[in-house]
A = this chain, B = another copy of it.
């Protein structure tokens, strides 16, 4: 049985380990997670290990952050599987520490938090439009995680593309001195993006959940064929999702990849040099799944 990494439950203990690693000249890399680890997370850990280098230091944080769940969302139901997570990390290897604080450690003055970190405008569309307060919860908790774990670099999954864009802006604007790396989405053989929430799906829902990635492939194909009208690309995605009887579309959007604002026409120039994000959120029953892809436009179509 491989050895589990040491688990820190307090900010002080985590900071002490981080400070010692920094003082020893090691490169610190953080993988923030909410636990319920799957192969997508383990891909982030491998990337973290590689980025840290042989004598670097990799921390995985495991914290189901209450402030990024809205009323009626699945905070209570969200899977908490720390034992299995530690076994998976032991098996995978290459993890130096796990930071697994309680809510009381992370929010010592109770909830809602008195201190919050906000990012203007970048949360107006996509998930931000349908999950009010979500990204303020994310920026606040990641600030705390960065302060506790003191990484040089942190690895996030590209599946939460809006989260990554917002965290990039936050990290740059506050001057954290932390480099952010987005890891490509890890998918099942049929294309479904790995997610801790996939375990909520019935067999029938699971089979139909392939429509998210199919919709994104259809959007890419349309752009490849010269489509530059955002409404038409959204329509393509919507038609794909509508083909699954159990699917209920929450949003299918095309935004520029930097400011995350909706566009009418995709162009190789402004606003973001031809980089766009196609993203969608789809419910199967109570289970909400998201997926996205980058659309690159090099000519006017």
By a beta-carbon cutoff of 8 Å, the part of chain A in contact with chain B is 11-12, 15, 19, 22-23, 25, 106-109, 112-122, 139, 143-144, 147-148, 169-170, 172-177
How far apart are the CA atoms of A143 and B170 in the complex, in Å? 12
Contact B114 A169 (CB under 8 A): yes
Task: Tell me how far the C-beta of A65 lies from the nearest C-beta in chain B, rounded to whole angstroms.
Answer: 14
Of the residues B22, B114, B172, contact of A173 by C-beta under 8 Å: B114
Residues on B with beta carbons closer than 8 Å to the beta carbon of A144: 174-175
CA distance A106 to B121 in the complex (A): 20
Looking across the interface, which residue of chain B has its beta carbon closest to that of A136? B118
Number of copies: 2
A176 to B15, CA, bound (A): 9
Contact of A22 among B19, B147, B148 (CB under 8 A): B19
Assess whether A113 is in contact with B173, with CB atoms less than 8 Å apart: yes
State whether A115 and B118 are in contact (beta carbons under 8 Å apart), knowing that A108-B173, A147-B176, A148-B175 are contacts in the complex. Answer: yes
A174 contacts which chain B residues (CB < 8 A)? 115, 143-144, 147
Known A11-B177, A15-B177, A109-B173; further 14 A-B contacts with Cβ < 8 A: A11-B175, A23-B25, A109-B172, A114-B119, A114-B120, A115-B118, A115-B120, A116-B117, A116-B118, A117-B117, A144-B174, A144-B175, A147-B174, A147-B175
Q: Which residues of B contact A116 (CB under 8 A)?
A: 117-118, 120
Of the listed residues A19, A107, A147, A174, the one surrounded by the most CB atoms of chain B closer than 10 A to its CB is A174
| A113→B109 CA distance, assembly (Å) | 26
Query: What are 30 sample pairs from A and B whose C-beta atoms fall under 8 A apart?
Result: A11-B175, A12-B177, A15-B177, A22-B22, A22-B23, A23-B23, A108-B172, A108-B173, A109-B169, A109-B172, A109-B173, A112-B120, A113-B120, A113-B173, A114-B119, A114-B121, A114-B122, A114-B173, A115-B118, A115-B139, A115-B169, A116-B120, A117-B117, A143-B174, A144-B174, A144-B175, A147-B174, A147-B176, A148-B175, A148-B177
- Nearest CB to that of A118 among chain B residues? B116
5 shortest A-B CB distances, which residue pairs?
A115-B173, A11-B175, A114-B120, A15-B177, A23-B23
Residues on the B chain within 8 Å of A114, using CB = 119-122, 169, 173
- Centre residue among A116, A148, A169, A172 by max chain B CB count within 10 A: A116
Q: A167 to nearest B CB, angstroms?
A: 10
